[in-house]
Structure 1
Amino acid sequence: MDFQLTPTQRRVELARPWVLLGLYIALALAGWWWLAAPLVVVVCLAAFVQMHDTMHNALGLSKAANKRILSLSGLLILKSGHGLQVTHLRHHGRCLTEADPEGAPATWSFGRVLWQGPWHTLMLRREALRIAPNTKRIQLLETGATLALLVGFVALYWLTGSMVGLVYWGVAFLMSATMPIWASYVPHHVSSRNPVARTAAALAQAWTPITASFAFHHLHHHYPRVPTALLYRAATELPPPPEEAHHH
């Protein structure tokens, strides 16, 4: 079965986080912070989905274009896209074993995820460098870019008084620090039969970011090259995989 994005679908998937980012900037400049600040969360989730699809080369892009989008979408959520790709592919290959640093929070208690999760995000950067030292240069460049953003946003505030950059960086930092909760613990603990997952599956047909990632996480583990936007269709057309190996 063909689970490739159409050209129109690909353009939508590529544009989504950047259109949302533009909307955030417009709302922030207008002073509508009650809408702008929560929208950063949506931007980060959309960026996460785009980054995740590029990790698996699922968007149908050339190798060079895929690498660029991986770096840029990772930057939106203050991550090294190539670093996360290293640990994520290890997660798929050795899911929830001792050799799977990304999946470790899924094996912890929720309390431990809360207090140790932010440190775990930093540890993953170290692990990515250890696992794939051949990508050290691009990983360090991407990490440096996230810090450069902070410096630039501080300078923007110092020179103009604008909080647009700092608010974005602050919310994105919180999303990044809590990723072990919403990108590791929750997907591996919520069965597709759970009412919340069923609701997410229904919503996924209209809104790709994160709802499909949660609703069809077990399916993604078996069919990683299926784009997130098409997981809802794959769920109806592909043989259902067992969930036990991916849940605790």
Structure 2
Amino acid sequence: MLIENNLTIPWILISITLAYFEYYILALPFSAFFFLTALRQVHNGFHNSLATNKFLTWLSLYINSVLMLVSTHAVKFNHIRHHKYCLSENDYEGKSATMTWYGAILYGPVHMFLIHKVTWQLGNKNYRQNMLLELISIVILVSLIFYFRIYFLIYHIIVMLIGEFLMTFFAVWTVHHNTHDHPEFARTQRSWWKNKLTFSMFYHLEHHMFPAVPTIKLLELAKRIDEAFPEMEKKNTF
């Protein structure tokens, strides 16, 4: 609980501090790791795996929405559908899995718009209300930042938008390309250093088999699956 709910804090503090003193190049890797850890945090929140109560999970999603410049409740709605309709026509999150790698990158801005549109059209009242609250909060914050010309926060906005535009490549294409024959068997990663570098976010086969398992336990789950099903084919993420 302590790790998953506080994983983003050092990365955002260091990146913002470096940006404040105009060390933008030095801030970039810390911003990237903030985005990655925030993605891990909200992903656990989608599956109620943060080990906190309902309100604190909601608060985590709301705060990360403002920091990442996207409605995480819109992302959640499409992600839950992704698990239900994995790589089928109704899986809007998984659309980029059939594209080329460069097509998935170019599709990023369209995907960012589409997940909000789909949530508004198909989501229930709670999803719509949460999405509106998050989007209004983002617009207010971004407007204030640009109005007062807070340059180190403008840097943060630009980097987060780039991260969101690359989501369809890193969070969808890398883990699902060439798996349409058996969409339930997503790609995974067994390289120790690669999993450390990516904060265990590429244990995707394991995640699809057991979505409620928190990210911090996916290494243990992967070991159990390897022992129980050594003959299972596992495609590497990268």
TM range (shorter): 0.7 to 0.9
Q: Once the 2 structures are TM-superposed, how far is the Cα of residue 244 of structure 1 from its aligned partner?
A: 8.3
Structure-to-structure mapping, 1:83-232, within 5 angstroms: 83-134=74-125, 135-157=127-149, 162-189=150-177, 197-199=189-191, 201-204=192-195, 206=196, 210-214=198-202, 216-232=203-219
**What CA distance in whole angstroms lies between the structure 2 residues aligned with 1:182 and 1:53?**
17
Q: Once the 2 structures are TM-superposed, how far is the Cα of residue 152 of structure 1 from its aligned partner?
A: 2.0
Q: Once the 2 structures are TM-superposed, how far is the Cα of residue 228 of structure 1 from its aligned partner?
A: 0.8
Asked if 1 retains the 8 angstrom alpha-carbon contact of 2:98 and 2:177, the reply is no
**What CA distance in whole angstroms lies between the structure 1 residues aligned with 2:85 and 2:98?**
14
Normalization by structure 1: what TM-score? 0.82
Residue 38 (structure 1) aligns with: 29
Shift in CA distance, 185/240, structure 1 to aligned 2, threshold 3 Å: farther
**What CA distance in whole angstroms lies between the structure 2 residues aligned with 1:222 and 1:126?**
28
Identical-residue share of aligned pairs (%): 25
The aligned amino acid for 2:128 is: K
The aligned amino acid for 2:136 is: G
**What CA distance in whole angstroms lies between the structure 1 residues aligned with 2:234 and 2:121?**
29
Deviations 1:105-128 (A, max 9, x none): 112222322322211211111111
Q: Once the 2 structures are TM-superposed, how far is the Cα of residue 99 of structure 1 from its aligned partner?
A: 0.5
**What CA distance in whole angstroms lies between the structure 2 residues aligned with 1:103 and 1:190?**
12
Shift in CA distance, 19/190, structure 1 to aligned 2, threshold 3 Å: farther
Give the unaligned 5+ runs of structure 1.
1-9
Residue 61 (structure 1) aligns with: 52
Aligned residues: 227
SS of 1:197's equivalent in the other structure is coil
Give the unaligned 5+ runs of structure 2.
180-184
Residue 72 (structure 1) aligns with: 63
Normalization by structure 2: what TM-score? 0.85
Deviations 1:32-89 (A, max 9, x none): 2221133211111111000000000011111111111122123322111111111000
